[in-house]
Amino acid sequence: MRDMTGLTPKSTSALRTVAPQEPLEARLETRSEERSHEVDHPSSLVAQFDAARPLHLDCGVDLAPFQIAYQTYGELNADKSNAVLICHALTGDQHVANRHPVTGKPGWWETLVGPGRPLDPSRYFIICSNVIGGCMGSTGPASLNPATGKVWGLDFPIITIPDMVRAQAMLIDHLGIDTLFAVVGGSMGGMQALQWTVAYPARVFATLAIACATRHSAQNIAFHELGRQAVMADPDWDHGGYADKGIHPHRGLAVARMAAHITYLSDAALHRKFGRRMQDRELPTFSFDADFQVESYLRYQGSSFVERFDANSYLYLTRAMDYFDIAGDHDGVLAAAFRGIKTRFCVVSFTSDWLFPTSESRALVHALNASSARVSFAEIETDRGHDAFLLDVPEFFEIASAFLDSAGKARGLAAVRGG
């Protein structure tokens, strides 16, 4: 998943169909400067890893040097037992609960993170890093390759979800934290949360995995391939070498985003929001203009996405999700991956999520049960589709709060300060 800057709770009620004042090309130019600056010089915290501390990638390459950009909220307590790692979705980033440096929009998970929210910074030390392969400050295809002095582009090695998690573990080591109180994530973030627990069971006290799966399904891989082909079909993509020419395949990337965005919603949610209503007109124009509100909305989603995201990074991150298959790494037996794990799990799915349907969560829960893990599971009823985890869904926050609170008690964490 990507961040939801276009769909933060406030904006979901209103239709995001208004045409921006500035022409897209002009906005792209200003934003792309900010974006390329963030790639190597993020406005958030950065952990640098030199040649002596390479990242061992699944593809066999040792990546060094590299950097991880991250944000933190709250304070680490004396015994370092209150650290929570949030893993972001496909095109999200480390700006969970602060204004985004490129778009200026609120943090993508302010519904979950903040005072009085399930993840309250007065109780937890919250960490979120941009994944390796991303484009908001962690080393990725948009970063400068120190060996050549040019942008990595397609020379960047292929990244997997376990690679992202390995890099995060190095960051957590760097912060001097041994055991995380919780790893929390939705969609691709949920995959990372599960991978964290499988790879470092002793370092995760509790795992909250939302709207995710232990593998990417054939249908999901198919949608990702559609997006990648849209990017690659853009002549500006130039076999991934666009950056050195100062251009960006924004048309292809916008199409990829539009297609993906449809998969994040449900038919019911789209119909409720837009139906077949027309945009700023009463009669069809008998042309290929965006006559329908839903078209206008998708075009807006596509264009605002290309302002803040790198096309090659999109290729790499979708690929990482495609390769993800926990059972595949354990001779096809999912339960074997979780054997002997003491971590407390909470799995949440949404009824109208057809990208990561409840059946996938159930398969995970059954595997956890079969391996005697301590697991809770709830399916939240909503018509808002996969995106529900980023929206204001009280039933979801109730279960997240209940799980984190009770795990916090078991971990001996004090209640919210002053409360």
Partner 1 sequence: MNMQQGVLPLNGFSGGEVLAYRPDHLLVAGMVERGSKVLDIGCGDGDLLQLLESRGIDGRGIELSREGVNHCVAKGLAVVQGDADTDLVDYPDDAFDYVILSQTLQATRRPKTVLENLLRIGRRAIVTFPNFGFWRLRLQLLVGGHMPRTDNLPFTWYDTPNIHFCTIKDFVQLCDEIGVKMERAVALDAYARPLRVAMPWWFWNMFGEQGVFLLSRAEKGR
Residues 221-240 that bind partner 1 (CB under 8 A): none
Shortest Å distance, C-beta 333 to partner 1? 11
The answer to the question of residue 327 lying near partner 1 (CB under 8 A) is no
- B/e letters for 386-404, b = 16+ CB within 10 Å, e = fewer, are bbbbbbbbeebbebbeebb
Shortest Å distance, C-beta 400 to partner 1? 9
Residue (96 or 380) nearer to partner 1, CB: 380
DSSP 310-367: -HHHHHHHHHHHHH-BTGGGGTT-HHHHTTT---EEEEEEETT-SSS-HHHHHHHHHH
Shortest Å distance, C-beta 280 to partner 1? 41
Residues 169-198 that bind partner 1 (CB under 8 A): none
The answer to the question of residue 204 lying near partner 1 (CB under 8 A) is no
Residues 6+ apart with CB under 8 A from 10: 106
Shortest Å distance, C-beta 375 to partner 1? 6
What is the Cα–Cα distance from 239 to 406, expressed in whole angstroms? 51
What is the Cα–Cα distance from 100 to 6, expressed in whole angstroms? 12
Q: Which of 32, 129, 353, 361 is catalytic?
A: 353
The answer to the question of residue 376 lying near partner 1 (CB under 8 A) is yes
The answer to the question of residue 379 lying near partner 1 (CB under 8 A) is yes
Residue 353 is a catalytic residue = yes
| Cross-strand bridge partners of residue 47 | 68
Residue (22 or 398) nearer to partner 1, CB: 398
Closest residue by Cα to residue 315 from 371, 367, 237, 377: 237
**What is the radius of gyration, based on Cα positions, of the chain?**
21
In the list 398, 414, 415, 417, the residue contacting partner 1 (rule: CB under 8 A) is: 398
Shortest Å distance, C-beta 273 to partner 1? 25
Pairing relation of β-strands 125-129 and 204-210? unpaired
The answer to the question of residue 336 lying near partner 1 (CB under 8 A) is no
Residue (260 or 380) nearer to partner 1, CB: 380
Residue (314 or 377) nearer to partner 1, CB: 377
**Dihedral sign (CA 156, 220, 96, 376):** negative
In this structure, the number of other CB atoms found within 10 A of the CB of residue 276 comes to: 9
The answer to the question of residue 117 lying near partner 1 (CB under 8 A) is no
Shortest Å distance, C-beta 359 to partner 1? 11
Residue 37 is a catalytic residue = no
Residue (354 or 397) nearer to partner 1, CB: 397
**Residue 291 annotated in ligand binding:** no
Q: Which of 143, 187, 296, 304 is catalytic?
A: 187
The answer to the question of residue 415 lying near partner 1 (CB under 8 A) is no
**Residue 109 DSSP label:** T
Residues 6+ apart with CB under 8 A from 289: none
Residue 386 is a catalytic residue = yes
What is the Cα–Cα distance from 89 to 74, expressed in whole angstroms? 22
The answer to the question of residue 148 lying near partner 1 (CB under 8 A) is no
**Residue 387 annotated in ligand binding:** yes
The answer to the question of residue 375 lying near partner 1 (CB under 8 A) is yes
The answer to the question of residue 372 lying near partner 1 (CB under 8 A) is yes
Residue (118 or 302) nearer to partner 1, CB: 118
Q: How many CA atoms lie within 13 A of 204 on its CB side?
A: 29
Closest residue by Cα to residue 349 from 330, 375, 374: 375
In the list 201, 374, 383, 416, the residue contacting partner 1 (rule: CB under 8 A) is: 374
Count of chain residues binding partner 1 (CB under 8 A): 27
The answer to the question of residue 383 lying near partner 1 (CB under 8 A) is no
Residue (103 or 358) nearer to partner 1, CB: 358
What is the Cα–Cα distance from 335 to 227, expressed in whole angstroms? 32
The answer to the question of residue 410 lying near partner 1 (CB under 8 A) is yes
Per-residue H/E/C for 116-157: CCCECCCCCEEEEECCCCCCCCCCCCCCEECCCCEECHHHCC
Residue corresponding to tokens 């789209």: 270
The answer to the question of residue 22 lying near partner 1 (CB under 8 A) is no
**Dihedral sign (CA 168, 171, 175, 179):** positive
Q: Which of 88, 100, 216, 386 is catalytic?
A: 386
Positions annotated as catalytic residues are 187, 353, 386
Residues at the site binding partner 1, with contacts judged by CB under 8 A: 335, 344, 346, 362, 365-366, 369-370, 372, 374-381, 395, 398-399, 402-403, 405-407, 409-410
Residues of the binding site? 257, 387
Binding residues for substrate: 257, 387
